[in-house]
Structure 1
Amino acid sequence: MKALKGTRRRGFVLTPVGLKRLQDAILAVEMAENNGIRLTLDELGDRMNVSSKTLSRLWSLDTGVDQKTLKLCFSTFNLELRNEDYAILSEPNNTETSDALSLNLDTEEVNSSESLSVDSFVNEQPDQLENLWSYPDGPVPLDSPFYIERPPIEELVYHEVHQPGCVIRIRSPKQMGKTSLVLRLLAFAQKQGYSTVNLNCYQIDSDCLTDLNKLLRNFCWQIATELGIDPNLNDIWDEEVGCKLSCSLYLQSYLLKQIQSPVVLVLNEVDRFFEYPHIASEFFALLRSWCESARQNINWQKLKLVVVYSTEDYATLDINRSPFNIGLPIRLSEFTQQQVEYLAQRHGLDWSSGKESAQLMSLVGGHPALIRIALYYICSGVITLEDLMQEVLDNGGIYRYILWRQWAKLQETPSLAKIYEKVVTTQESISLDPIEAYKLESMGLICFEGDRILPRCQLYRAYFAKQLSAIV
């Protein structure tokens, strides 16, 4: 097909499906030829015979490359390019060209545009429609185009999980993306052939949190079940030697001995233990002992521990018995303005001027969940950014349900509400009891700026100042 006047050769973009296939193939090469060490863009470019700048465009999912480049990148890793691996950028003012385009890879010329439009994404990827327009509540699915990496976090955790007996500590307030990161870490580990166990501490019965023996038996039962092994607790557990030693021997000599592959054990929401200081002290000391045993015991080296929590350990824990001061610490930050603009592009919005992103961030900062909710409503055509800003300031607008939930939590603890009232109504720095500060931070209501304690964002300051002034 002859080139149409005014078109360019850079018009193919990877879909999330294509990006995943290509990155999986790259990962396999890194494991086989590079001891699992990630290849840099320059190293990948040398292999593919393309520039690192071209690769950056390819990874972006919104800037087109030509057909030859796309084929070359896939063939370098022995992959055949499929229809579901790519989409074609559309140019709104060139309908003749758009109509002439075909998904056939023999197409010589395609259009380019500054960003991938929502219509183009939907037309080329109907199976992505549900993912594209689902309300952003909960973790970002693995195949979603809306997951935004926050370098170097992903690379750090992928590298660390290769280390024998490693510990990774992921800490951030709620709705910052901890679970989304954990999903990707678990997927990465499974691709390495590791076994994975993902436990949520809020699924543990309350009576287990007042009885260490019950807790550890419950803990071992869940791990064995997740690994597909008969728990066989009654035959192996020996309470005469104590529940902590029984638990350690059970994991080391029964579970880990049977598993040939490393085991990635994720403990989500360990904050729950902090409300039970005695149990927390004993349980975390046990975790610490396993980490130390991994330095000399081959079976313990198979265990890779990932601890996920929203606050620091405000229970009174001996620093020498706590797992919260060892291993790789990961703290998820808010989105930068550039990342907000990039996410807007993935929603089909052109916020490249920086005006719109700055306007939204003046209200909610770079809070991932609040940013994504705003983009969802704007792209759905429910509201404009200008109207959104006004409604939010008037009555909470699209965030009213989130604000109501936070408000309900505050009302459950009047003393905490009174403290937060001081935070949102005081412009100067104030001092808070560390435990109360950590509780407010775990709810995502405050942030620390040096020694200063501030409301998490202007939305929270405006809304809660109004609500709290009426009752405090």
Structure 2
Amino acid sequence: MKQSKSRRKRGIMLTPAGLKRLEAAILAVEKAHNNGDRFTLDELGLRMNVSSKTLSRLWSLDRGVDQKTVRVCFSAFNLELCSEDYTILDEPNHTETSGELLVSLETEEVSSSESLSVDSFINEQRDKLKHFWSYPDGPVPLDSPFYVERPPIEELVYREVTQPGCVIRIRAPRQMGKSSLVLRLCAFAQKQGYRTVNLNCYQIDSDGLTDLNQLLRNLCWRIATELDIAPNLNDIWDEEVGCKLNCSFYLQYLLKQIQSPVVLVLNEVDCFFEHPHIATEFFALLRSWCEEARQNANWSKLRLVVVYSTEEYATLDINRSPFNIGLPIRLVEFTQQQVEDLAQRHALDWSSGKESAQLMSLVGGHPALIRIALYYLCSQVITLQELIQEALTNGGIYRYHLWRHWAKLQEKPSLAKIYTDVVTAKQGISLDPIEAYKLESLGLICFKGDRIIPRCELYRTYFAKQLATII
């Protein structure tokens, strides 16, 4: 019996490749025509002539949008829709499609010779998303759809880095998104034609943390190498002058050879706080560069970005520190709306707000803990209820994260004793400011008015049990 062809409208959804191509085109327009500022969802909707709800469906990568809408969205950014940009999403209870799917946007006609279920399409789509679903450990890659903006932070740092001789101070505990923000700041700077040098201070050898001359020579060598300039340190470095002056002369020598601004990022400068003599001299040097940039045209090409978890005010002279000048940026937790938006990007429908509220009652808006949960939930290896129950009993999917914190506390018994008081108190307590700073730098507490409480319920429950074993 001859099968008849059927004609009906089918929704289509973007592939990861299609979404990446569209986002790249949007980013290019933002840089060229919007001063680098990101479009809001409403602004994008106006530009594409579609609703923000439709855009949310388009970005979700799991819900269908009509073919004409997708074509309109692409054309708004001078893109032509290609077959690699989308896949067909069959409607429920209609599963007849061909073994080799042939799609025509003009005729919207599909011929079928064998049955293929909607589940097959979903599974195929999940396979295409697997490269995005890597375990969330480390900075969010530039091409990832899982980076969550926290307005107005991105706008502030993008604007500030264009200012001559600027200083940007980014502060937050570990795994709050500092490195992800720095990646995007450097990418923005490079789009402006700037040179960027992104240094992680934990890569400095132990000798560099006890010998200031060795530290500054290493720093100069690394900066020159990143700028593709032959270091030639021995030709310029004069041991009789002193290492700080040598370092300043050398950096000025590098800046003279670069026509464009140079963004110097110093990540994890906290490592110097355990070496007070080195910290005092090194941070005083950074402060002198900032002051020089205000009055010297060559030095004004330098843009300094300092990234850290906490300040040790007790060990630094406020007049010789870079931690009280420039633009201060402090990263905060995700809001419930941001959590729901991120869940949607993971192909989870949390629009009711129930699921996001349940997860946040456990981990708050902690970016790393939220992303770890969504990774396991979208991979369908655990339900939300199982996740919460296991996390409160033995740490569950968070056990490695918790073990890292536990190891830090065991290294500092006096700090562990203080944290015991925090997690066992029925209400917030007061602490010595230095001890509070140490716990905050680890990300273990937050401030509620003038009182201190555990960062989240997960920490309260887990560490109350663990700390009880060593008291």
Shorter-chain TM-score bucket reads: 0.7 to 0.9
What residue in structure 2 maps to residue 370 of structure 1?
369
Checking the alignment, whether the CA contact within 8 Å between 1:84 and 1:125 is kept in structure 2 is no
What residue in structure 2 maps to residue 113 of structure 1?
none
1:302-341 equivalent positions in 2, closer than 5 A: 302-341=301-340
Amino acid at match of 2:131: E
Query: 1:404-436: per-residue Cα shift (whole Å, max 9, x none)?
Result: 221121111110110100000012332222222
Q: Scaled by the length of structure 1, what TM-score is found?
A: 0.87
Give the secondary structure class of the aligned counterpart of 1:131. coil
Q: CA deviation at 1:204?
A: 0.5
What residue in structure 1 maps to residue 451 of structure 2?
452
Rounded to whole Å, the distance in 1 between the matches of 2:269 and 2:245 is: 21
Q: CA deviation at 1:266?
A: 1.2
Checking the alignment, whether the CA contact within 8 Å between 2:15 and 2:128 is kept in structure 1 is no
Checking the alignment, whether the CA contact within 8 Å between 1:274 and 1:315 is kept in structure 2 is no
Q: CA deviation at 1:163?
A: 2.0
What residue in structure 2 maps to residue 226 of structure 1?
226
What residue in structure 2 maps to residue 285 of structure 1?
284
Give the secondary structure class of the aligned counterpart of 2:175. coil
What residue in structure 2 maps to residue 189 of structure 1?
189
Q: Scaled by the length of structure 2, what TM-score is found?
A: 0.87
Give the secondary structure class of the aligned counterpart of 1:298. coil
Amino acid at match of 2:276: P
Give the secondary structure class of the aligned counterpart of 1:320. helix
Give the secondary structure class of the aligned counterpart of 2:306. strand
Q: CA deviation at 1:269?
A: 0.5
Q: CA deviation at 1:367?
A: 1.1
Query: 1:166-213: per-residue Cα shift (whole Å, max 9, x none)?
Result: 222111111111111112222222222222111110010122112221
Q: CA deviation at 1:144?
A: 1.9
What residue in structure 2 maps to residue 138 of structure 1?
138
Amino acid at match of 2:203: Q
Matched, 1:81 2:81: yes
Give the secondary structure class of the aligned counterpart of 1:239. coil
Which structure 2 residue ranges, 5 or more long, are not aligned?
111-117
Amino acid at match of 2:387: L
Rounded to whole Å, the distance in 1 between the matches of 2:104 and 2:438 is: 56
Matched, 1:123 2:134: no
What residue in structure 2 maps to residue 114 of structure 1?
none
Which structure 1 residue ranges, 5 or more long, are not aligned?
111-116
CA distance 1:313–1:126, shift in 2 (3 Å): same
What residue in structure 1 maps to residue 113 of structure 2?
none
Give the secondary structure class of the aligned counterpart of 1:229. coil
Rounded to whole Å, the distance in 1 between the matches of 2:438 and 2:342 is: 30
How large is the Cα RMSD of the aligned pairs? Answer: 3.1
Matched, 1:273 2:256: no
Checking the alignment, whether the CA contact within 8 Å between 1:2 and 1:108 is kept in structure 2 is no
Checking the alignment, whether the CA contact within 8 Å between 2:58 and 2:65 is kept in structure 1 is no
Q: CA deviation at 1:53?
A: 3.7
Checking the alignment, whether the CA contact within 8 Å between 2:42 and 2:52 is kept in structure 1 is no
Amino acid at match of 2:132: N
Q: CA deviation at 1:235?
A: 0.5
CA distance 1:27–1:217, shift in 2 (3 Å): same
Q: CA deviation at 1:325?
A: 1.8
Rounded to whole Å, the distance in 2 between the matches of 1:107 and 1:278 is: 74
Rounded to whole Å, the distance in 2 between the matches of 1:103 and 1:181 is: 40
Q: CA deviation at 1:233?
A: 0.6
CA distance 1:239–1:93, shift in 2 (3 Å): farther
Checking the alignment, whether the CA contact within 8 Å between 1:58 and 1:65 is kept in structure 2 is yes
Checking the alignment, whether the CA contact within 8 Å between 1:216 and 1:243 is kept in structure 2 is yes
Give the secondary structure class of the aligned counterpart of 2:447. strand
Rounded to whole Å, the distance in 1 between the matches of 2:200 and 2:351 is: 39
Checking the alignment, whether the CA contact within 8 Å between 2:50 and 2:69 is kept in structure 1 is no
Q: CA deviation at 1:121?
A: 6.8
CA distance 1:56–1:329, shift in 2 (3 Å): farther
Residues 76-85 or 352-361, more deviating:
76-85
